[in-house]
A and B are shown apart, each in its own frame.
Chain A
Amino acid sequence: MSASQNLVLHPEVDASRTGAHFLLGDHACAEGALYAGCRFFAGYPITPATEISEHLAERLPELGGQFLQMEDEIASMAAILGASVAGAKSMTATSGPGFSLMMENLGLGYMMEVPTVVVNVQRGGPSTGLPTSVGQQDMMQARFGSHGDITMIALAPKSPQEAFDLTVHAFSIAERLRTPVLVMMDEVVAHMHERVVIPPPGEIPIHARPKPDVAPAKYRPYKPGPDLVPPMALAGDGFAVRFTGLTHDETGKAVTTYEAQRLLVPRLREKILRNRETYERTELYRTEDASTLVVAYGITARVARRAVDLARAKGQPVGLFRPATVWPFPEEKLRSLHHVRKVVVAEINLGQVLLEVERIVGRYAEAIHVGTAGGKVPSPEAIVEACE
């Protein structure tokens, strides 16, 4: 038994990286995980996410944490769920092909209500596609990729600084709501170097998972609290918990009936939706008088910001709406800008978040898509043109 054992459960505070750095997006993401207390990572090499694994392979053992390279992404996803039920904050990182393999156990984590964080550094697809080039083509997969009715939370960082910040945020959401959270990066953000400020430990508040406050005999692993989140006992806590991917009752007993399904599956969705104001993040830029709105996320949002400035210089009232939490889409916030008459959705795909935006604004605004098939970020000029 190693001296490191309990450090996964009781992570030592790490102040070694406090301060300003010039960091790769992937490394910033990894540091965000460590800052949030992640001490268990399981992954499989894949471009353009490998640098996250490599960085954590070096850093986690320094902190007594566990880094494990698994045999595939299926196993990686399973391992981080197992680590989480035993008490670790856990994470994996991958790209499109690996993300496809993770869908099975992502659904298990959702159904079992296991907090964990999954990073997808998006590259061009379908299939092996463009391994070294950018994409935002997995956004609908993030939302609906695992079978059954799932409601996922997905964040999209626009910079290495946000790769750090939103990864910290992802852990807080995952722990607080007992659910897997996705960080949907893209290859450009992952592979750019920028200034990243890492605050002193504790400066960013980090939520913990709710713990049971009843005796083991009275504990029900799926009895929700007022916020619909059931307190979580860990393996080894003496609660003899029963966690399952089968439809179950509050005790964790498998009950494969319509009635049990009707109680469980809508609650899992409501848990995500009802608490959304606690985690939703958006950025508005020059929207006050805008009649045209650009909606963009990740690296595309930075290009879109440039497009807004270019259009404004031409005298066009264009603004930017950037969801940092893409799923669930910040519907009310977008709808609060109901004075707009045209919405340009810019993303590196053939029209995915567009579908959601169309649904939200369709009654009062025209929705237009500016995209690429992957491999290239839409240019500011193309976005300006679409705004005209």
Chain B
Amino acid sequence: MTDEETPASAGGTISAEVTPAPNGDLAALELHPYDHLLRSEALPHIWCQGCGIGTALGALLHGFEHASVPVEKRVIVSGIGCSSRVVYYAKTDAYHTTHGRAIPFATGVKLTNPTLNVVVFAGDGDLFAIGGNHFMHAARRNMDLLVVCINNFNYGMTGGQGGPTTPEGALSTTTPYGNAERPFNLPEFAAAAGASYVARWTTLDVRRLQATFTEALARHGFRFVEVLAPCPVSFGKTNKIGTGAEEMEYYYALEILKSRIESTSHVGTEIVLHRPIVVGKFVDLERETFLDRYARVVAKAKE
């Protein structure tokens, strides 16, 4: 994989200032540049060693900073699952809702106060099994939300059951003989439902994720970012992909940038175990959002 698609803004720069303690205390120097964006009292987090969720959260915080979203305008709404726990750590207005329902909850938040920058952050099971209906309709409405899906191919919090993104044939605690179902192809699903912005990266692609979040946070309408993330204790282990680091190697070996694929290629965005994984930005359109259209409804009603 090359860097040719990397936007200029996607450097590894950090916006936070780390001020060493006057006495040169090393502990202060070791602060993470985004510590001020986290609720330090809530740490340590619950995620397992090698998990990809923290990487995605870090990239999202980077996006908030680089897209110059004012701190008080940042809202994260989540559902249930490992990914949804981000609301406890990120220092934003944070709402931990019910399983699958983050999108309609976030819809209410955004429509009530459209000056807020509302992000839904949840897992693949939350957003696409129990919450699939809400995802589809929010995309259709072009609702002004950024939806981040951590796709680790299984239900992590409950111990590694199969779900709507588990690859065909993959093992999980509820597919002990191999998954008989085909998974959702999330970028295609989002695009077909009407999303204005669709991208997919893995947690190996940190700088691309940072750039993507920076870009997507500044856009309007329904934006969807799929983040493929290791779940070493469940999916990775069960399917012999290995540790978090080994899953990164797996991504490194299999990732293909969308721009590198010939249009006639048979390689698509579906995910098949041990087959190439296409990553990149798939949709980026400026379209009227629900709020734009509803403003006309209000204008007409007031005539």
CA distance A68 to B109 in the complex (A): 13
Known interface pairs A40-B108, A61-B297, A82-B95; A242-B115 also in contact (CB < 8 Å): no
Give the segment of B50-58, B71-79, B167-175, B178-186 that binds chain A: B71-79
Near B by CB (< 8 A), chain A positions 48-74 give: 58, 61-62, 64, 66, 68, 70-72, 74
Is A367 at the interface (CB under 8 A from chain B)? no
**Using Cβ atoms and an 8 Å threshold, which residues of chain B touch A282?**
none
**Are A236 and B116 interface neighbours, CB within 8 A?**
yes
**Using Cβ atoms and an 8 Å threshold, which residues of chain B touch A90?**
108, 112
User: Which residue of B94, B101, B301 contacts A241 across the interface (Cβ within 8 Å)?
Assistant: B94
**Are A243 and B294 interface neighbours, CB within 8 A?**
no
Is B302 at the interface (CB under 8 A from chain A)? yes
CA distance A108 to B77 in the complex (A): 13
**Using Cβ atoms and an 8 Å threshold, which residues of chain B touch A242?**
39, 87-88, 94, 96
**Are A82 and B107 interface neighbours, CB within 8 A?**
yes
**Are B112 and A66 interface neighbours, CB within 8 A?**
yes
Residue in B closest to A1 when the chains form the complex, CB atoms: B114
Is B146 at the interface (CB under 8 A from chain A)? no
**Are A83 and B98 interface neighbours, CB within 8 A?**
no
User: Which residue of A8, A42, A75, A82 contacts B77 across the interface (Cβ within 8 Å)?
Assistant: A82
CA distance A88 to B13 in the complex (A): 39
Is B93 at the interface (CB under 8 A from chain A)? yes
CA distance A74 to B300 in the complex (A): 30
**Are A82 and B87 interface neighbours, CB within 8 A?**
no
Is B298 at the interface (CB under 8 A from chain A)? yes
B291 to chain A, nearest CB (A): 6
Is A337 at the interface (CB under 8 A from chain B)? no
Is B238 at the interface (CB under 8 A from chain A)? no
**Are A4 and B113 interface neighbours, CB within 8 A?**
no
User: Which residue of B73, B111, B136 contacts A40 across the interface (Cβ within 8 Å)?
Assistant: B111
Is A253 at the interface (CB under 8 A from chain B)? yes
Known interface pairs A61-B297, A236-B73; A86-B112 also in contact (CB < 8 Å): yes
Residue in A closest to B302 when the chains form the complex, CB atoms: A62
Is B62 at the interface (CB under 8 A from chain A)? no
**Are B133 and A71 interface neighbours, CB within 8 A?**
yes
User: Which residue of B39, B87, B106, B137 contacts A71 across the interface (Cβ within 8 Å)?
Assistant: B137
A253 to chain B, nearest CB (A): 6
Is B269 at the interface (CB under 8 A from chain A)? no
**Are A235 and B109 interface neighbours, CB within 8 A?**
yes
User: Which residue of B97, B111, B136 contacts A108 across the interface (Cβ within 8 Å)?
Assistant: B97
Known interface pairs A84-B108, A244-B96; A4-B101 also in contact (CB < 8 Å): no
CA distance A72 to B299 in the complex (A): 27
Interface readout for A78-113 with B: 1 if CB under 8 Å, 0 if not? 111111111110100000000000001100100010
Residue in B closest to A62 when the chains form the complex, CB atoms: B301
Is A245 at the interface (CB under 8 A from chain B)? yes
A109 to chain B, nearest CB (A): 10
B101 to chain A, nearest CB (A): 4
B64 to chain A, nearest CB (A): 12
**Using Cβ atoms and an 8 Å threshold, which residues of chain A touch B87?**
242, 244
**Are A83 and B114 interface neighbours, CB within 8 A?**
no
Known interface pairs A2-B294, A2-B298; A68-B107 also in contact (CB < 8 Å): yes
**Using Cβ atoms and an 8 Å threshold, which residues of chain B touch A244?**
87-88, 95-96
Known interface pairs A5-B115, A71-B134, A75-B101; A82-B108 also in contact (CB < 8 Å): yes
**Are A2 and B108 interface neighbours, CB within 8 A?**
no
**Using Cβ atoms and an 8 Å threshold, which residues of chain A touch B137?**
70-71, 75
**Using Cβ atoms and an 8 Å threshold, which residues of chain B touch A83?**
108-109, 111-112
B220 to chain A, nearest CB (A): 10
Is A254 at the interface (CB under 8 A from chain B)? yes
User: Which residue of A1, A9, A75, A112 contacts B104 across the interface (Cβ within 8 Å)?
Assistant: A75
User: Which residue of A76, A82, A86, A245 contacts B96 across the interface (Cβ within 8 Å)?
Assistant: A245
**Are A85 and B295 interface neighbours, CB within 8 A?**
no
**Using Cβ atoms and an 8 Å threshold, which residues of chain A touch B105?**
78-79, 81-82, 105
**Using Cβ atoms and an 8 Å threshold, which residues of chain B touch A285?**
none
**Are A86 and B77 interface neighbours, CB within 8 A?**
no
**Using Cβ atoms and an 8 Å threshold, which residues of chain A touch B114?**
1-2, 5
CA distance A181 to B161 in the complex (A): 37
**Are B101 and A85 interface neighbours, CB within 8 A?**
no
**Using Cβ atoms and an 8 Å threshold, which residues of chain A touch B91?**
240
**Using Cβ atoms and an 8 Å threshold, which residues of chain B touch A112?**
95
**Are B112 and A253 interface neighbours, CB within 8 A?**
no
CA distance A155 to B234 in the complex (A): 48
CA distance A64 to B301 in the complex (A): 9
CA distance A71 to B95 in the complex (A): 21
**Are A42 and B108 interface neighbours, CB within 8 A?**
yes
Near B by CB (< 8 A), chain A positions 20-52 give: 40, 42
B127 to chain A, nearest CB (A): 13
The 6 closest A-B CB pairs, nearest first, are A82-B108, A2-B295, A61-B301, A83-B108, A75-B104, A86-B112
- A40-B112, A112-B95, A243-B95 given; name 5 further pairs at CB < 8 Å: A2-B298, A40-B111, A81-B108, A253-B41, A253-B42
Q: A residues bordering B, Cβ < 8 Å? A: 1-5, 8-9, 40, 42, 58, 61-62, 64, 66, 68, 70-72, 74-76, 78-88, 90, 104-105, 108, 112, 234-246, 252-254
